[in-house]
Structure 1
Amino acid sequence: MPKLRSTPPITGVEKELMDAFKRLEEGVPNHPDLLKKARLKKLRINATTVALEAGRARTLIAHDKCAYPRVRAKIKSLEEPKGPSTSYEDVNRTLREQNIELRKMVIVAASRVAAMIRRMDAVDKKAAEAIKKVVRKTSKKEDVSKANNVAGARRLNETLAVVIPLQKDSDSAAD
């Protein structure tokens, strides 16, 4: 049967950080800067403010692999989920980022169109050359066959038109 791991009790630095977290949550911090923010209703609970209130370094709870993950989990549970921002600056920043992305997409699309046009021109040129070659070959064959037909017809006509009778010449017989 495997051993169950129990979480160690909160002691030392972790207790200080948890106490600081509770004070910030209640809105009664000890640190003068945080107290001023609490009065102005601008106090936010995050890793930096908890560490400042506890008098410790922020790096103890500020990253995922920190030394005190329970304190970090409590802080993260209070953070508001980030939704779409509505301030003009954020909207403007988002629109500028989208504009940059769209400009890049336009450049890529234009280069693809240019490459496609070059390919189409090359294919068109090849096709025109192939058509010329076929026309040349077929016209030569037609010319040769017409010439043969005409020549054959002439010979045929000449032979039919000129009939040489076989006669015995009296002169040739005497020889």
Structure 2
Amino acid sequence: MSTPHVVVVMGVAGTGKTTIGPLLASRLGVPYAEGDDFHPPANIAKMSAGVPLEDEDRWPWLDAIGAWAHERAGLGGVVSSSALKRAYRDRLRAAAPGIVFVHLTGDRSLIEDRMAHRQGHFMPTALLDSQFATLQPLEPDEPGVAVDVSGSPEEITDRAVDALRDRERSSAAQ
């Protein structure tokens, strides 16, 4: 991508945001921020206990991610955030209007299997149903691309880079 954008790697738990985010940042030559690090301790405690977050829990978290993205405007960066609802993405864009989303998508059984085998993460597999129920995929007027999560992390990252470049080329041609 020619202009440094802030890219939000989004999707339900288990799609690989924490794996793909740093790889994508490295490929784009920009810093990476782990979205989970922006959660207040109360949110992590709730999710660790298998309790889905409410919107009121998410606003301070989204505002913290938005502030980071705002600071990176014009410099570029990659940050992970589930950003499951349009309202959450709108809030992030209000803080940093140049944000572009990479929505990691995939088959539910693949994502559930990946969640079941990951180590050291606070999000239990039991919350996957609530994640899919909450998910509002990117709409055509939202700046972003959808990327399938099947394959290796390198293959997924290649697809993300290609999709972002294709998006930038088509935007420049309009």
> What's the TM-score, normalizing by structure 2?
0.21
Which structure dedicates a bigger proportion of its chain to strand? 2
Which structure dedicates a bigger proportion of its chain to helix? 1
> What's the TM-score, normalizing by structure 1?
0.21
The structure having more radius of gyration, on CA atoms, is 1
